[in-house]
Structure 1
Amino acid sequence: MNAVTRSNSSRPRILFVDDSRLMRACATRILGQDFDLLLAESAEAAWELLQDDASIEALFSDLHMDGKSGFDLLQQVRQADQPHLVDLPVVLITGEEDGETRRKHALMLGATDFISKPFQASELLARASAYSQTSQSAKRLRLLEEEHHVDPETGLGNRRYCEERLMQAMSFAHRHQQPLVLMHLRLDGLTALLEEMGEPHAERALQRIGDTLKRRIRREDTAFRTEPETFSFLLAATDAEGAEKLQRRFMPDLEELGLCPEDEALAVKAGFIVQTPPPMNGRDGAQILEEGLSGEATPVSAVGAPSTSVPGIEQALRLLDQGREDQVTPHLEALRERLQPLLDLMGRGGALASGEGAKRDLH
């Protein structure tokens, strides 16, 4: 790997990838004066640079290289988790042997443009200038969108973003026949507690709550702050039972954050609402979200805690299937008493069957 060190932060940063030392030298001569140029001699080295440097504004890559090809690098970029890579302008450098079929394949993979060898200096400069400007505009737009979608106090998605994502997720779930749950964590008394803490401590507390909630959910899920005391979670491909499991995972976090203290003047009472969004039927995300937020929360003390009442036989079997033996064990004696008449009947039935079998043997 070879790279030119950034000397002027105002210059657009370009990554040029080619396994030919001569081509890299040509790129340096043509682009080095106007751009902050990074050079890589392989797709593997280029991918490392792209992972580490979000300031790269355009990628130029040779199509044919030892090891991974330009096609492979393009595919990695377009399938990346980072939004700035998915939108990165990628210009593939093709040779005389690359016909229309290869170019169509590259376009299908997400190539932005092509440039043919041997390229003219003016052609390479024009492409680099145009696509670096496009990338800068896209970054500015993405930052504006992120600010528009983020709750500034917690770093979670805000209510408007939740409404937008809910509509998208409902449409996807309907098309693919997948379950979807919108789960709400209500922290009654949080506002009063934050006011009592004072501004600097309240800011840190809200940021910590946001970080904790984001850490607990899966990558495919999204967390939002939908009301001052309510946090919502869009759980893809999850049913009500899966949401209940996630609630139990939240318990240690809520205790660690001190959000369910007992016998305190400013106690924060935590509770969950599990909402299975119904068919849209002309309603928008705001209406559907409001229906869930207006529901009655199940207190945290009742979530995942051993029940004080004896569960029914079917309920006990479901709890065992879910791996919740701790909720069944305290009631084993009571369950045995309930089952005893059935066990006695089964015993009598077995003895009767044995007696009838013995009679048949005698005859």
Structure 2
Amino acid sequence: METPKQRPRILIVDESRLVRTQFIQLIRDHYDFREEVDGEGGWQALVIDPSIQLVISALSMSMPVLDGDGLLARLRSSRLARLRQIPVLMIAGDDEAANARARALGASDFIVGSIGASELLARIDSVLRLAQAQNELRENPERDAQHPDTGLPTRQRVEVQAAQAMSYALRHESPVSILIMGFDRFDALRNEHGEDLVKELHKRFASMLATKVRKEDSLGHYSGSDLAVVSPGTPYPACEAFANRLREAFAVANIAVHGKRLNLSVSVGVANTPVDRLNSASSLLTLAAQRLKTAQEAGGNRVVACSDRSSSRQPAPRLGHAIDLIKAGHESAVIPHLLQLGNEVLPFLELLERELKLGLPLAELRKRTRDREH
């Protein structure tokens, strides 16, 4: 008789019984759990219970023993690799300094106390997948490094590359953008033309992308036919402009089968830090994937990006973004961004161009500004 597979166990550390009960209710149908009231109890549980695969901990606790920061610091400095590498989700508070301290100590991701079940389960799944990928690559760095159809890195590699880019970005306060893109109406395409043709289209799609990403970008598989680009140092307007160029390039590509041109399109989901205020690679990848799904459900052949959000957290346009775009080699994205700044900034831009020779397309900017005013 086959032994049932043991579910992953999650340790919940919080001095509030109400908070612990709340999280237990959200995860109990999917994960085993253990609860502790303070960091010291959490540490002892982790030492003696190797079945624990993830920790959910309060950011700071008023207990006179070990608080959340102390538990995180002790884990990350442990001599046991199992404890040093265990993913930790911190329950974020309103104290930004405390959040930054936990991030520097090595928190895997942050969640809010009012998080819903679906989002929490998605965060846990992403963090556990990333931890598994990192462990497998540490044990066997050459295994499953490339996808057999395209030769691109597998999802495991992409997740690790995204984590490395995010770690660097948090240390140096630089942006990271992630694009996840895929064919629209993929199932219908496969049903109509067959698996072999779809694989060939996938290879062409991957080849086209490989010629367009920068050397410092990472291109690989995400899920099914969806591909991901991890783009360190790219501000959100540049990444959105790049996504639209990829979408447009594929839309006009002349791909034919038996002499008949296929009506193909792709959609792209874009996520960016710091715009999306996420602190982990797994949450950034998940958000980009959700935006891809939103784009496809809205009819496809579109990009859903950070700037599509109506949230009050969306940053106001500023000249720094325009300069970032130029430095990143995305001059074509400068005009729509600068247009948001209004006509009053034109004299300053003209002075900036005379002094620094940035290559700002001032003539076209003046024309578009006039068109908007009329």
Q: TM-score, normalised by structure 2?
A: 0.40
Q: TM-score, normalised by structure 1?
A: 0.41
Q: Max radius of gyration: which structure?
A: 1
